[in-house]
């Protein structure tokens, strides 16, 4: 079943989660590039769409908040479900809030990291691994580029948008946006010269 979701060609895609998992994005991308070069010269490829894999960092935190440990280092972790007085911007809603609370994903010890159920810590730039724990199927879709947004080159270096780029992890439903104006109706386009 696994092969259905994984790329059938090239070793790189199979290794990708490992690179993504180490939390050091720059290093991982460097390794990726090196691997690509090895692949480029080491294997005969008829298609080039597997060469590069690149992740866009999630929404940039403002310096008011990040790094989180600045404030949280002196605060004791409170696992109680409650209204957040400080983080009024965070509303945890419509995301299984009865079952989970902040510290299920945020590492109580190191507030600059996220915590997987395995106990592994990941950075915010690999937040998709948190999502993966429940949304495995969607995550696979995302990995293969059929869910989520990618930009760049269709046959080469492309950038994946992390889950959190589109879905606020605390209220993950897609936020409604203002649409661009509708087209001009043909009746209103009329530019009669003879009027």
Residues of this chain that bind other proteins (CB under 8 A): 4, 7-9, 46-47, 49-50, 141, 144-156, 158, 161, 166, 174, 176-187, 189-194
Shortest distance, CB of residue 44 to other proteins, whole angstroms?
13
Shortest distance, CB of residue 168 to other proteins, whole angstroms?
14
List Cα–Cα distances, 20 to 23, 77, 176, in angstroms. 6, 28, 30
Q: Which is nearer to other proteins, 119 or 179 (CB)?
A: 179
Torsions phi, psi of 178, nearest 5?
-80, 125
Shortest distance, CB of residue 130 to other proteins, whole angstroms?
19
Q: Which is nearer to other proteins, 89 or 180 (CB)?
A: 180
Residue 27 host element (H or E):
helix 25-42
Shortest distance, CB of residue 66 to other proteins, whole angstroms?
24
Q: Which is nearer to other proteins, 111 or 128 (CB)?
A: 128
Answer whether 99's CB lies under 8 Å from 117's CB.
no
The distance in angstroms from the start CA to the end CA of the chain is 69
Answer whether 20's CB lies under 8 Å from 57's CB.
no
Identify the DSSP state of 56.
Answer: E
Q: Which is nearer to other proteins, 119 or 186 (CB)?
A: 186
């Amino acid at each position: 079943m696994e092969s259905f979701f994984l790329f059938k060609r090239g070793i790189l895609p199979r290794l990708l989660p490992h690179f993504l998992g180490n939390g050091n994005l720059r290093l991982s991308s460097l390794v990726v590039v090196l691997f690509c070069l090895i692949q480029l010269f080491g294997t005969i490829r008829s298609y080039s769409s597997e060469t590069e894999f690149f992740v866009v960092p999630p929404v940039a935190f403002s310096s008011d908040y990040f790094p989180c440990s600045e404030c949280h280092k002196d605060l004791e972790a409170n696992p109680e479900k409650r209204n957040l007085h400080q983080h009024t911007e965070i509303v945890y809603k419509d995301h299984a809030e009865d079952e989970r609370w902040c510290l299920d994903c945020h590492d109580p010890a190191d507030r600059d990291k996220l915590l997987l159920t395995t106990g592994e810590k990941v950075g915010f730039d690999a937040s998709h691994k948190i999502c993966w724990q429940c949304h495995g199927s969607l995550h696979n879709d995302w990995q293969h580029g059929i869910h989520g947004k990618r930009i760049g080159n269709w046959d080469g270096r492309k950038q994946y948008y992390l889950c959190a780029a589109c879905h606020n992890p605390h209220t993950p439903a897609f936020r409604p946006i203002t649409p661009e104006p509708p087209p001009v109706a043909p009746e209103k386009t009329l530019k009669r010269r003879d009027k």
